Amino acid sequence: MQSEKITADYGKLRRWYRDACGTALAMDLIGERWALLIVRELLLGPRRFGEIRGALPGLSANVLTQRLEGMEKAGIMRRRTLPSPANAQVYELTRWGYALEEPIFALSRWAAGSPAHDVTLPLSNTAFMLSLRTMMDPRVDPAFAPDLGFRIGGEPFRAAIVQGRLAIERREPEGAGIVFVGEPLKLAATFYGPAPLAESIREGRVEVTGDLGQAQRFVTLFRLPAFPAD
Amino acid sequence: MQSEKITADYGKLRRWYRDACGTALAMDLIGERWALLIVRELLLGPRRFGEIRGALPGLSANVLTQRLEGMEKAGIMRRRTLPSPANAQVYELTRWGYALEEPIFALSRWAAGSPAHDVTLPLSNTAFMLSLRTMMDPRVDPAFAPDLGFRIGGEPFRAAIVQGRLAIERREPEGAGIVFVGEPLKLAATFYGPAPLAESIREGRVEVTGDLGQAQRFVTLFRLPAFPAD
DNA sequence: CTGTATCCGTGTTGATACTG
DNA sequence: CAGTATCAACACGGATACAG
């Protein structure tokens, strides 16, 4: 309907807080259901419609369309057509959209301390890789600079420690010094569980190639925050 | 066990993402409409039901009740009865709830860069005071330690710069070295606008008592982030 | 495959009225 | 003042149909 289209711009289709506070505006912009998870899926680079859908079971196509439209209008992301011969449409964050990484990480670290945190629930490949960047201890020895590869649920990633942070790219892990291969949930159990890496390998949660000592050292950089008693 | 109770409600109370990712859990916990703004109103200390309602026009009583119940069950806040003779019920954040300050500030700083940011919209007293903590330049000269008082929309606050951050309490400003008095929106124009403090005083946006030079210096510590070009 | 446009059942939200 | 009850409007998710 046309009246809906018109009001969709900034009018009454959605419920706005109409509050000058930044928190309220943030919730206006990315507080709708699924919005922040869609951003999360784009945080490691452009993705196609179907890739986003595949990573977010429960998100229906029409809602995804609405969110992509809304966030594009808000200046958070843009649609781009890949150059020939790919010719595919992809969605990518704007620079301002990428700046959502900090709020998302702050929220993740906070929520990971909840007693309701259930690590047996599904986890997307991107979500696992991002969790590494979120949860890595930044006080890592600067001399420890492993060359890392991952193949998570079949998707390739390449990573390195740069100034205490984990830099991640969606690229083939060929030639990396250490390569981790597995499914997101098993990998999460490996990185965030109490067992040593060797046990995870033995029980088939993860395959690791390369220097196992270095790999074990890398794994111990990750820990979930505890729920603060009160 | 508490975690069992929380996860037991998982399917019934509302729509959950059922995702192991921290971002998804965060949105499950505080992504419902109004939730984060209610937390914001509690960030400077316990408040009563009516105070929260008064600060959030548009929030209806039944939704406020639901949010308070939900966030209490989630371990984010608690109900407390003030000791006699006050005997009033107040809502206050748990320690974990107070830890939402960091995500809220990250979201605020991000959203303040939006071209849609409209500083003429309503602003609660608490929201203005928190915006000062959010937006203050942390690289302030450690030797600059003003003793600050505020009376925002009639509400008293006391503040000081402690290790580059603004510490704020809900207390009478009597005896403070510098006292700012005014309405939230006018104060925001004073702190975040381009005009010098003297002009804001002249045009009645704010009343200031105490050392005007120090007050001017304090005001220049605040600036809104710009929208990153892309 | 990549979306867009429907309808439909259901849960969430918001305004008003109401009770202790 | 501190909520509860009721009800209408809307958002969401699922299904389906359809277009490029």
Of A22, A94, A119, the CB nearest to B108: A22
- The answer to whether the CB of B111 falls within 8 A of the CB of B117 is yes
pLDDT at A213: 97
- Cβ of residue A10 closer than 8 Å to a chain B Cβ: yes
Check whether B9 has a pLDDT greater than 50. Answer: no
- Within 8 A by CB and 6+ apart from A9, the residues are A73
Gyration radius from chain A CA atoms? 19
Strand C contacts (CB < 7 A) among A residues 26-55? 48-50
Residue B14: its chain A contacts at CB < 8 A? none
pLDDT score of B5 more than 60: no
Considering only the beta carbons, identify the residue of A95, A100, A228 that sits closest to B96: A228
Indicate if the pLDDT at residue B122 is higher than 80.
yes
pLDDT attached to residue B14: 58
Q: Return the CATH number of the domain spanning residue range B2-105.
A: 1.10.10.10
Query: What per-residue confidence (pLDDT) applies to A228?
Result: 84
Give the 3-state DSSP-derived string for A49-95, with helices as H, strands as E and coil as C.
HHHHHHHCCCCCHHHHHHHHHHHHHCCCEEEEECCCCCCCEEEEECH
How many A/B residue pairs have CB atoms within 8 Å?
202
B100/A22 Cβ within 8 A: no
> Does A81 lie at the interface with B, CB-CB under 8 angstroms?
no
Q: Has domain A118-219 been given CATH number 3.40.50.2300?
A: no
Task: Decide: CB of B11 under 7 A of nucleic strand D.
Answer: no
Residue B136's CB is within 10 A of a number of other CB atoms, namely 18
Measuring alpha carbon to C1', the residue closest to nucleotide C6 is A62
A164 CA to C2 C1' in angstroms comes to 40
Q: What does the pLDDT look like over B153-176, one tens digit per residue?
A: 999 999 999 999 999 999 999 999
- For chain B, percent of residues with pLDDT exceeding 90: 86
Of A36, A99, A230, the CB nearest to B96: A230
**Which candidate, B198, B111, B212, places its Cα nearest to that of A23?**
B111
Per-residue pLDDT at A151 = 98
pLDDT tens digits for range B35-70: 999 999 999 999 999 999 999 988 999 999 999 999
In angstroms, how far is D17 C1' from A3 CA? 24
- CA quadruple A184, A187, A192, A194: dihedral positive or negative? positive
- Output the average pLDDT for chain B: 92
Burial of B155 (0-12, 13-18, 19+ CB in 10 A): middle
What distance in Å separates residue B154's CA from the closest CA in chain A? 19
Cβ contact (<8 Å) for A29 and B114?
A: yes
The domains of chain A are located at 2-105, 118-219
Residue B3 has pLDDT above 70, yes or no: no
Q: Which residues of A touch B229 (CB under 8 A)?
A: 95
**pLDDT at residue A101, rounded to an integer:** 98
Interface membership of B103 toward A (CB under 8 Å): yes
Nearest nucleotide (C1') to alpha carbon of A7: D10
A82 forms beta bridges with none
Among A26, A114, A130, select the one facing B107 at the smallest CB separation: A26
Let me know: does A221 contact A146? Beta carbons within 8 Å.
no
Regions of chain A short of the pLDDT cut 70? 1-14, 84
A97-154 confidence digits (pLDDT tens)? 999 999 999 999 999 999 999 999 999 999 999 999 999 999 999 999 999 999 999 9
